[in-house]
């Protein structure tokens, strides 16, 4: 299948591109190459036959229309987005542009292109809109996010993704564009930008710097190894019926503080220092509007598409820690471009103190 992937130079998009190429699909990777992109994520893959790259902004309707017309894809996997909650607090503009306006332009271009397809190609065409469980807001102690949980986004990031989900739904209902949507929990694994929690912990621990845990570390996330997400995304693209939505999750709920301690223990084992890495943990000012708990009910995708995560959180964390230790070249290059693990997402300067 010839798949147009947006955001294929990002963390999850590059995992999708690598897996799809490995399985024999063709890829057109459309990426603007923002700060979050890294073509090193595709090192060794870009020379393969069946891979094409187009540097373009998804908000640029003319560029996107040309790419559809020139490459004639069988399907779209739309992952391009601004993805970091803390950055959305500091600067929501780019989130509105890319996540809302960009998704709108992608849907419009896909709709124009879809109209040109033969009936057989129309039957097979899918626009897979890739989204997050954060659209559902925050859970209390009990309950899980299901596909029919009402949307209640709390951050500029999740609000922009929720809006993009509604646009995708509307283009499916109103224009019969064959959309499928998936909402996934927190991903982790190799090639994740060092701004996100897991790489923050690994790289701070490695440097012997303080490990910042927001608030009391009692917020809960449901962690999924990135390759398990990529596998679910390709399965949904190829087997889900038009109009369906699926929640994808790791069945791995952890309090942040427990996860951080697990990573510290792995670091003690793999890269010991004179005192335990846990001594570096520092509780810092909380994120404004910090969602308390995310947890996914993945029973629909398990039941209907026979998908299950294959990597336990213990195994995945071990692989991830080992990967960052073995691939210093990868994250040092990002540091050299100016990101050195600084605190992001404090809406006001007054909050900037250690708790
Ligand atoms: P990422 O930030 O690592 O990568 C995003 C990619 O999109 C980058 O390569 C960037 O250059 C590209 N991009 C951004 N703006 C663009 C634009 N205007 N035009 C073209 N390309 C642009 O993100 P990620 O973590 O890989 O997330 C990918 C998708 O999965 C996003 O839609 C995100 O909302 C969703 N998601 C992420 C997670 C997670 O835990 N990371 C969980 C669930 C869903
Ligand atoms: P993050 O990786 O930013 O993902 P998201 O906010 O999309 O869930 O953060 C995961 C959790 O870790 C979240 O509860 C915020 C917290 N966190 C910290 O405690 N310290 C950090 O340095 C970062 C980046 C996040």
pLDDT digit string, tens, across residues 256-271: 999 999 999 999 999 9
Average pLDDT over residues 167-183: 98
Q: Minimum mean pLDDT among 114-118, 165-169, 203-207, 348-352: which range?
A: 348-352
Angle at the Cα of 187 (from 185 to 191), degrees rounded to 5?
160
CB 103 within 8 Å of CB 7: no
Q: What distance in angstroms lies between residue 197's CA and the mean position of ligand 2's atoms?
A: 5
Question: What pLDDT score was predicted for residue 339?
Answer: 84
> Higher pLDDT residue, 50 or 341?
50
51 carries an active-site annotation: no
Mean pLDDT in residue range 46-67: 97
Which CATH number is 2-189+223-248 given?
3.40.50.720
Residues 26, 82, 133, 222: which is the catalytic one?
133
Residue 350 reports pLDDT greater than 80? no
Residue 219 Cα: closest atom of ligand 2: 14
pLDDT digits (tens, 9 = 90+) for 5-31: 999 999 999 999 999 999 999 999 999
For residue 203, the surrounding DSSP H or E stretch is: helix 197-207
Please give the helix or strand (H or E) that residue 152 lies within, else none: none
Q: How far, in Å, from the CA of 133 to the mean position of ligand 2?
A: 14
Q: Which residues line ligand 2 (CB under 6 A)?
A: 85, 186, 196-197, 200, 212-214, 219, 221, 256, 287
Residue 130: enclosing H or E segment and its boundaries? strand 126-132
In the predicted model, is pLDDT for residue 68 greater than 70?
yes
- Evaluate if residue 354 carries a pLDDT over 80: no
The pLDDT of residue 355 is above 80: no
CA distance 133 to 151: 9
DSSP string, 19-79: HHHHTT-EEEEEE---TT--GGGGTTTTTSTTEEEEE--TT-HHHHHHHHHHH--SEEEE-
Q: Tell me, what's the pLDDT at 348?
A: 67
Active site residue 133: yes
Is the pLDDT confidence value at 250 over 90? no
CA distances from 86 to 30, 81, 147, 171, 322 (A): 25, 14, 26, 30, 26
Structural domain spans, the chain: 2-189+223-248
Which pLDDT belongs to residue 352? 43
Whether residue 139 contacts residue 293, with contact meaning beta carbons closer than 8 Å, is answered with: yes
Share of the chain above pLDDT 70, in %: 98
Q: What is the pTM of this model?
A: 0.97
The catalytic residue among 136, 157, 188, 191 is 157
User: Considering every ligand atom, which ligand is closest to the CA of 296?
Assistant: 1
Ligand at minimal distance from the CA of 12 is 1
Check pocket membership of 186 for ligand 1, CB cut-off 6 A.
yes
Q: Which among 132, 37, 58, 67 has a CA at the least distance from the CA of 102?
A: 58
Q: Which one of 160, 213, 214 would you pick to mutate in the ligand 2 pocket, going by the greatest count of ligand atoms within 8 A of its CB?
A: 214
Nearest-CA residue for ligand 1 atom 15 is: 81
pLDDT of 342 above 90 = no
Mean of all residue pLDDT scores within the chain: 96
């Amino acid at each position: 299948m010839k798949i147009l992937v947006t955001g294929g130079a990002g963390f999850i998009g590059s995992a999708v591109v690598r897996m799809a190429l490995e399985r024999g699909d063709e890829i057109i990777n459309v990426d603007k190459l923002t700060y979050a992109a890294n073509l090193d994520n595709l090192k060794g893959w870009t020379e393969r036959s069946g891979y094409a790259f187009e540097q373009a902004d998804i908000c640029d309707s003319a560029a996107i229309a040309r790419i559809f017309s020139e490459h004639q894809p069988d399907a779209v996997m739309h992952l391009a987005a601004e993805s970091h909650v803390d950055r959305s607090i500091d600067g929501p503009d780019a989130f509105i542009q890319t996540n809302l306006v960009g998704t709108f332009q992608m849907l419009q271009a896909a709709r124009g292109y879809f109209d040109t397809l033969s009936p057989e190609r129309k039957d097979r065409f899918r626009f897979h809109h890739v989204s997050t469980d954060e659209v559902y807001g925050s859970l209390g102690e009990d309950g899980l996010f299901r596909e029919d949980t009402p949307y209640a986004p709390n951050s500029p990031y999740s609000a922009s993704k929720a809006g993009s989900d509604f646009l995708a739904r509307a283009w499916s209902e109103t224009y019969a564009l064959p959309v499928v949507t998936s909402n996934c929990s927190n991903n982790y694994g190799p090639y994740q930008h060092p701004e996100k929690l897991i790489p923050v912990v690994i790289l701070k621990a490695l440097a012997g710097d303080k490990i910042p845990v927001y608030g009391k570390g009692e917020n809960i996330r449901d962690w999924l190894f990135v390759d398990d997400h990529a596998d679910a995304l390709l399965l949904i693209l190829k087997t889900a019926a038009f109009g369906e939505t699926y929640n994808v999750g790791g069945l791995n709920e952890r309090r942040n503080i427990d996860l951080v301690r697990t990573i510290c223990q792995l670091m003690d084992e793999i890269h010991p220092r004179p005192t335990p890495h846990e001594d570096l943990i520092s509780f810092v000012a909380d994120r404004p509007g910090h969602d308390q708990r995310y947890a996914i009910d993945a029973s629909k995708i398990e039941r209907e598409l026979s998908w299950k995560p294959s990597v336990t959180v213990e195994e995945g964390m071990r692989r991830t820690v080992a990967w960052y230790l073995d691939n210093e070249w990868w994250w040092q290059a990002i540091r050299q471009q100016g990101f050195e693990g600084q605190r992001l997402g404090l809406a006001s300067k007054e909050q900037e103190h250690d708790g």
